[in-house]
Amino acid sequence: MSIQDKKLVSLLEWIKNTNDEQLKPSSHSYISSKLEVKDYGINGGRGINATSNINRSELILRIPPSFLLNTNTVITHISKYNDSIKLSEPYYTSLYTPYNNLSDKFTKVYESLCLTDLLNLTSFQLLSLYICLEKQRGENSFWKPFIDMLPDISDFKYTPLIWKVNQVSNYEKLLLLLPKSTKQHTDNVYKRFMNDYEIVENLLHKKDFKNYITIELFLWSWMCINSRCLYMTLPQSKTSADNFTLAPYVDFLNHSCEDQCSIKVDGLGFQVFTTNSYSKDQQLYLSYGPHSNDFLLCEYGFVLPYENKWNDINISNFILPLLDNNQIDFLKDNDYYDNYTLTAQGISFRTEVALAVLQEQNPQSSRKLQALLNGISDGSVYKYKSDLLLIEILEKIIHTCNNSLYLEYSDDEDIPTRERKRIIGILYRNMLDICKQVKEKL
Ligand SMILES: C[S@@+](CC[C@H](N)C(=O)[O-])C[C@H]1O[C@@H](n2cnc3c(N)ncnc32)[C@H](O)[C@@H]1O
């Protein structure tokens, strides 16, 4: 049995938890016997395979609350090492937290944190910190079987954030080759990451724990969360971004554009139902959301090279510099400022509004514009000039894409650089396809 197979067996034993008398059978995880984890190699890494036919609307997975890694479970587990943290809410007290009393240098960190310290962190910061510490606790960690099955940092080799933080070979050149909107997205992800790292580092520093978490470890933990978190409302969350959980085993489901499984979260935990029927040996998928390749690359580290119906192009960089102050004020007042996109189907309504505003000296007093915004007019009065400007923009993008398509077939001697260039080339090819389809329709 390979090491990976042994780790998977441990994960299954841990998550089913059938040996523990304390736990009611209804709280054991349910993993349908029609499922197996399969390695799809370069086509998505590990995924879930149907070992026999599965019906539509069939319950295939149920992971009880105690085995979900989120703010609730983290705070409850930490409280077991810290007498100052008194929890009374049922979403904490109902959790199963076998306290094994295995103190170590990392549980000293838990001893030093008060509840306010924990609640002042975002879910993302708290979980990143916790996974870094639990990973280093090894055998002492309740979560070891789960942490052992998390991906390796090399599984994120296509993520531009990793290129930048780890300064991989040719990273500066690679970042410059990215389409502008992907570069901007990368800068935003980088800011989010650095901000989380600094906050966690400052907290540890304040408590006198130095060199407990390297940036490399934090990056791994942060990317594992970013690429595997699933939406789940949590009672103590301050923002919608805090509403997520990690769900062992469910997180083996790979992404497809079409929803093929649905999620239900209730007192029983995190449940997955099929929304399709599957035949034996088919891979099961879950849609992570309506994400373009640009988004998938920056946040998850992969792209769907051929069939991503959510691909779009952000053309804000072309439109924003053309707006005068009056037009900017109007768009801001009406919540239409920035984020102008187009897909293979055409421009978004936001983009249509921006192109119409560009044709108005005094947008505030234009009845035509008001009619467009209110849905009374179809905006055809603006169409001729909007199309002319759009063609100009499309031609500029087509020119850039044509000059960058070679990247997909790069013959760079350095293999990692060649692979990363191939992914960048795919982004340009996707953009070119959209531009051509939109142009044909004008
Ligand atoms: C929630 S995990 C899914 C399980 C993952 N494949 C694994 O080996 O652990 C998300 C990660 O899986 C990979 N992934 C998911 N869907 C994919 C797809 N359609 N094509 C390629 N990679 C995919 C990406 O690396 C992504 O960051």
* Tens digit of pLDDT at every position of the chain (442 positions): 788 889 999 999 999 887 776 777 777 899 999 999 999 998 899 999 999 999 999 999 999 999 999 999 999 999 999 999 999 999 999 998 876 678 899 999 999 999 999 999 999 999 999 999 999 999 999 999 999 999 999 999 999 999 999 999 999 999 999 999 999 999 999 999 999 999 999 999 999 999 999 999 999 999 999 999 999 988 888 888 899 999 999 999 999 998 789 999 998 899 999 999 999 999 999 999 999 999 999 999 999 988 899 999 999 999 999 999 999 999 999 999 999 999 999 999 999 999 999 999 999 999 999 999 999 999 999 999 999 999 999 999 999 999 999 999 999 999 999 999 999 999 999 999 999 999 999 8
Please say whether the beta carbons of 394 and 438 come within 8 A. yes
Instruction: Choose the residue to mutate in 255, 272, 309 for probing ligand 1, maximizing ligand atoms within 8 Å of C-beta.
Output: 255
Residue nearest to atom 18 of ligand 1 (CA): 44
- Cα 102 to its chain centre, rounded Å, is 33
- The whole domain housing 425 covers 313-441
**Are residue 169 and residue 253 in the same domain, yes or no?**
yes
Instruction: Choose the residue to mutate in 285, 300, 308, 419 for probing ligand 1, maximizing ligand atoms within 8 Å of C-beta.
Output: 300
| Domain final residue pick, 249, 276, 300 | 300
Predicted pLDDT of residue 96:
86
User: What residues line ligand 1, using a CB cutoff of 6 Å?
Assistant: 44-47, 151, 155, 227-228, 251-252, 254-255, 300-302, 304
Calculate ∠ Cα 138-143-146, nearest 5°.
100
**Are residue 380 and residue 409 in the same domain, yes or no?**
yes
| Domain final residue pick, 267, 300, 333 | 300
Residue nearest to atom 26 of ligand 1 (CA): 300
**Are residue 292 and residue 318 in the same domain, yes or no?**
no
Q: How far apart are CA 242 and CA 71, in angstroms?
A: 8
Q: How far apart are CA 134 and CA 78, in angstroms?
A: 11
Distance 39 CA to ligand 1 centre (A): 11
Taken in order 366, 371, 374, 375, the sign of the CA dihedral is negative
**Are residue 282 and residue 346 in the same domain, yes or no?**
no
Q: How far apart are CA 296 and CA 277, in angstroms?
A: 26
Structure tokens at 206: 């304040």
Distance 282 CA to ligand 1 centre (A): 16
Predicted pLDDT of residue 237:
83
**Are residue 69 and residue 129 in the same domain, yes or no?**
yes
**Can you give the CATH number for the domain in which 271 is found?**
3.90.1410.10
Distance 301 CA to ligand 1 centre (A): 8
Determine, yes or no, domain membership for 363.
Answer: yes
Instruction: Choose the residue to mutate in 40, 246, 302 for probing ligand 1, maximizing ligand atoms within 8 Å of C-beta.
Output: 302
The edge-to-edge listing of strands for the beta sheet with 35-39 is 35-39, 46-50, 283-286, 254-255
Residue nearest to atom 11 of ligand 1 (CA): 227
**H-type alpha helices, 37-170:** 71-79, 90-93, 107-112, 115-120, 123-137, 144-148, 160-166
Determine, yes or no, domain membership for 53.
Answer: yes
**Are residue 16 and residue 155 in the same domain, yes or no?**
yes
Determine, yes or no, domain membership for 305.
Answer: no
Residue nearest to atom 19 of ligand 1 (CA): 255
Q: How far apart are CA 74 and CA 324, in angstroms?
A: 50
Taken in order 382, 384, 390, 392, the sign of the CA dihedral is negative
**Are residue 246 and residue 317 in the same domain, yes or no?**
no
The structural domain count of the chain equals: 2
| Domain final residue pick, 266, 300, 334 | 300
- Cα 88 to its chain centre, rounded Å, is 32
Distance 134 CA to ligand 1 centre (A): 23
Distance 43 CA to ligand 1 centre (A): 9
Assign 396 to helix, strand or coil. Answer: helix
Distance 132 CA to ligand 1 centre (A): 21
Predicted pLDDT of residue 99:
66
**Are residue 90 and residue 215 in the same domain, yes or no?**
yes
- Nearest-Å Rg of the Cα atoms of the chain is 25
Predicted pLDDT of residue 367:
95
Which numbered atom of ligand 1 lies nearest the CA of 255? 16
Instruction: Choose the residue to mutate in 254, 287, 310 for probing ligand 1, maximizing ligand atoms within 8 Å of C-beta.
Output: 254
Please say whether the beta carbons of 72 and 39 come within 8 A. no
Determine, yes or no, domain membership for 115.
Answer: yes
ipTM of the prediction: 0.99
